């Protein structure tokens, strides 16, 4: 009987904690996201006078919003350990980040582990499934200039044209640096069987279980579009006549592999409710120079397939040993624990709630004045 009572007590405490976390996250969204939108509406005169300053301020607020999402996992004991190349050295450069995709928690993991990478979060552009446009964070991503891509053969060619237009219109003009892309085009559990059948049908020498074969389309459009702009002298402003010489253009591809203990990926519900025990997610980076990439379609496809075959080997090693292998040419694998500053997170959350209260008072005053 004592065991039953003890288990019941633990379950009751867990449910209470989940309920409190959900209420906090709900209120957090209700004050932070409208405040972000209202601040940007109020700053429209700044956008007319100095677009660069406007998008700088927007990027700072965008980073703060992502810090709030990171804090939800951080407060539940969900942390990140990083392996491989140190991307801190290229945070000021332009890069494309290619990430394997297992669950919705992948996005939250990236929001967390990129928080300590300088201003990368402020200046990055996400490519995500169009369904995210209709979530609570959709309006933020829409304003920030992220790209929502619709999956499926019927939309593929059209979406790539839209992506090219989007990059030409927003990437340089808003001073973006990193592009976050999930080349597999969907979650592992949904695409694994289709990917394996495709590889078998086309006699491809890749037997993938922990990742799926990537799709070339978006990666190729990004590389061709941004490198083409560089060749035309367009780097920051979108105008070749007033190009900013400090910008070197797209320089790196960051091959990023996310691994969860026991191959059990984390979803957004876990991140919000915190019902899983404290978990360490592992992220492995490999940095490649864009200059070393082949640009021809067949050669680029083969290069991309090889990167995901390497991911398969990395993940197989991780699931067997609990650690990633050393970088090529090294004898020892070095891990780096990513940390967030609790004082900083408290400041950001406090600012969100104070902003929400301020905007409530302002709108309430105008409402009473009018009616």
pLDDT in tens, 83-93: 999 999 899 99
Please tell me the distance from the alpha carbon of residue 156 to that of residue 185, in angstroms, as a whole number: 11
Candidates 151, 163, 221, 222; CA nearest to 187 is 151
Q: Are 324 and 333 in contact (CB under 8 A)?
A: yes
Number of domains present in the structure of the chain? 1
Candidates 286, 322, 309, 127; CA nearest to 211 is 309
What is the residue-wise DSSP string for 296-339? SHHHHHHHHHHHHHHHHHHHHHHHHHSSPPPPTT-SS---EEE-
Give the predicted TM-score (pTM) of the model. Answer: 0.90
pLDDT score for 233 = 55
pLDDT score for 232 = 56
Candidates 129, 91, 342, 131; CA nearest to 218 is 129
pLDDT score for 5 = 61
Q: Are 258 and 280 in contact (CB under 8 A)?
A: no
Beta-sheet pairing, 336-338 with 280-289: unpaired
Q: Are 276 and 264 in contact (CB under 8 A)?
A: no
pLDDT score for 140 = 93
Classify residue 38 as exposed, middle or buried by CB count within 10 Å of its CB (0-12, 13-18, 19+): middle
Give the CA angle between residues 344, 345, 349 to the nearest 5°.
120
- pLDDT-flagged residues of the chain (< 50): 1-2, 236-237, 239-245
Range of the domain at 97: 2-370
pLDDT score for 235 = 55
pLDDT score for 243 = 45
pLDDT score for 244 = 46
Classify residue 370 as exposed, middle or buried by CB count within 10 Å of its CB (0-12, 13-18, 19+): exposed
């Amino acid at each position: 009987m004592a065991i039953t009572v003890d288990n019941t007590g633990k379950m009751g405490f867990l449910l209470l904690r989940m309920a409190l976390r959900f209420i906090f996250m709900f209120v957090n969204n209700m004050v932070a996201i409208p405040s972000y939108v209202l601040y940007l509406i109020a700053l429209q005169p700044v956008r007319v006078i100095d677009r660069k300053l406007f998008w700088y301020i927007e990027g700072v607020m965008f980073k703060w919003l992502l810090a709030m999402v990171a804090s939800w996992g951080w407060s539940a004991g969900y942390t990140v350990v990083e392996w491989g190349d140190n991307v801190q050295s290229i945070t000021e450069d332009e890069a494309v980040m290619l990430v394997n995709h297992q669950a919705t928690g992948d996005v939250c993991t990236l929001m967390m582990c990129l928080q300590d990478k300088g201003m990368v979060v402020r200046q990055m552009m996400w490519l995500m499934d169009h369904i995210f446009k209709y979530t609570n964070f959709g309006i933020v991503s829409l304003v920030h200039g992220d790209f929502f891509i619709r999956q499926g053969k019927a939309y593929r060619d059209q979406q790539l044209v839209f992506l090219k237009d989007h990059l030409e219109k927003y990437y340089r003009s808003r001073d973006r640096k990193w592009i976050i892309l999930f080349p597999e085009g969907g979650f592992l559990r949904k695409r694994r069987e289709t990917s394996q059948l495709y590889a078998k049908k086309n006699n491809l020498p890749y037997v993938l279980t922990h990742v799926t074969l990537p799709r070339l389309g978006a990666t190729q459009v990004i590389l061709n579009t941004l490198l083409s702009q560089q060749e035309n002298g367009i780097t920051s402003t979108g105008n070749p006549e007033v190009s900013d010489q400090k910008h070197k253009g797209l320089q790196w591809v960051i091959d990023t592999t996310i691994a969860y203990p026991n191959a059990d990926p984390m979803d957004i519900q876990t991140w919000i409710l915190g019902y899983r025990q404290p978990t360490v997610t592992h992220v492995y980076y490999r940095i490649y120079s864009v200059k070393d990439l082949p640009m021809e379609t067949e050669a680029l496809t083969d290069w991309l397939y090889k990167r995901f075959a390497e991911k398969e080997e990395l993940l197989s090693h991780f699931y067997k040993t609990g650690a990633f292998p050393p970088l090529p040419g090294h004898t020892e694998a070095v891990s780096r624990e990513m940390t967030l500053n609790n004082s900083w997170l408290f400041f950001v959350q406090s600012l969100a709630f104070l902003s929400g209260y301020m905007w409530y008072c302002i709108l309430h005053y105008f409402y009473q004045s009018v009616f």
